[in-house]
């Protein structure tokens, strides 16, 4: 069994947002401890800013927490041997990519990433609103990472992180999230870009659809918009129900269910050793925890 997978004591899931502005309904943070107790929202009813999530990770997150970010921690690299083929300044690995995004967006408020996707070279690789598709976007659904191909094989329909258009896009979330990961400054290891340490907290990329599928829902019906649906899924994960009834925001339900899923999944050695994960992919593209 990989070192460290049995020693986490807390499990957190962050449903993230790349939207413009300071505070976002789309951000939710859920937390649970070992055992079968229901996960709970951190600061329920609060409208988080991205900066506040960064502060929580730095100061308030419990020790020995496995925390999942619902975003892409990197961009496609393996398919063309670079994040941005043809750009002399294309970073060589994920951490260099995070540093570039944060540097180019230094003047963007609220940890936004507009300046990066508007950059003359970077913009050539993205599909943006208003029919603006860069000449290096590649067409179709855009370039996918190896981990996203693994998600496809599991029955999911992942979107390219180079796509910034549409309700299901995750590109904006990914780029703003990279600014947060860079500003953590290595204080929170990010698997598999960083090796799994023997102790302390660790961050991973999550895809909440994988948690929903593990709880008996289909990829097409992964969203839970009322307490009854959420608690039925939690029961599949041997987790006690969340208090309440009636509607619940899917951002909250995604975070709550995924925190509970991480509690069980963290102890599965196979999820830390997916077949498609090589040292080069770990360093450049990263991986989605649970994709195998």
**pLDDT, tens only, 99-124:** 999 999 999 999 999 999 999 999 99
The torsion angle over the Cα atoms of residues 136, 117, 171 and 106, rounded to 10 degrees, is 140
Residue 1 pLDDT: 42
Per-residue pLDDT of the chain (292 residues; tens, 9 = 90+): 465 467 899 999 999 999 889 999 999 999 999 999 999 999 999 999 999 999 999 999 999 999 999 999 999 999 999 999 999 999 999 999 999 999 999 999 999 999 999 999 999 999 998 889 999 998 888 999 999 999 999 999 999 999 999 877 889 999 999 999 999 988 999 999 999 999 999 999 999 999 999 999 999 899 999 999 999 999 999 999 999 999 999 999 999 999 999 999 999 999 999 999 999 999 999 999 999 9
pLDDT reported for residue 185: 87
User: What secondary structure does DSSP assign to 243-264, as a single string?
Assistant: S--SB--HHHHHHHHHHHHHHH
Q: Are 73 and 291 in contact (CB under 8 A)?
A: no
For the chain, the domains span: 1-292
E-strand stretches of the chain:
10-15, 23-24, 28-33, 40-41, 48-49, 65-70, 127-128, 132-133, 202-205
Please say whether the beta carbons of 262 and 10 come within 8 A.
no
Report the predicted TM-score, pTM, of the whole model to 2 decimal places. Answer: 0.95
Tokens of 236: 């599949």
Alpha carbon distance 79, 91 (integer Å): 15
Instruction: Return the bridge partners of 247, or none.
Output: 226
pLDDT score for 168: 72
In 3D, which of 176, 169, 181 has the Cα closest to residue 126?
169
Decide if 39 contacts 31 (C-beta within 8 A).
Answer: yes
Q: In whole angstroms, what is the distance from residue 243 CA to residue 164 CA? A: 36
């Amino acid at each position: 069994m990989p070192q460290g997978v049995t020693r986490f004591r807390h499990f957190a899931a962050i449903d993230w947002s790349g939207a413009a502005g300071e505070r976002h309904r789309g951000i939710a943070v859920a937390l649970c401890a070992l055992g079968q107790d229901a996960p709970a929202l951190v600061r329920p009813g609060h409208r988080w800013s991205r900066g506040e999530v960064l502060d929580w990770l730095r100061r308030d997150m419990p020790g020995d927490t496995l925390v999942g970010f619902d975003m892409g921690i990197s961009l496609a690299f393996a398919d063309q041997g670079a994040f941005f083929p043809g750009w002399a300044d294309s970073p060589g690995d994920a951490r260099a990519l995070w540093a570039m995004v944060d540097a180019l967006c230094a003047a963007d408020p609220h940890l936004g990433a507009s300046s990066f996707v508007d950059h003359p070279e970077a913009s050539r690789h993205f599909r943006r609103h208003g029919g603006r598709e860069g000449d290096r976007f590649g067409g179709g659904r855009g370039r996918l990472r190896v981990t996203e191909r693994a998600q496809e094989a599991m029955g999911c329909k992942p979107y390219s992180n180079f796509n910034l258009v549409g309700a299901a896009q995750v590109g904006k979330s990914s780029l703003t999230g990279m600014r947060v990961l860079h500003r953590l400054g290595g204080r929170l290891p990010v698997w598999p870009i960083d090796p799994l340490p023997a102790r302390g907290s660790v961050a991973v990329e999550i895809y909440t659809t994988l948690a929903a599928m593990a709880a008996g829902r289909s990829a097409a019906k992964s969203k839970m918009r009322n307490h009854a649906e959420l608690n039925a899924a939690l029961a599949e994960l041997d987790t006690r129900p969340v208090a309440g009834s009636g509607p619940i925001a899917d951002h909250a339900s995604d975070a709550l269910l995924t925190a509970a899923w991480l509690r069980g999944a963290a102890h599965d050695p196979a999820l830390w050793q997916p077949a498609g994960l090589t040292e080069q992919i770990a360093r450049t593209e990263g991986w989605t925890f649970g994709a195998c």
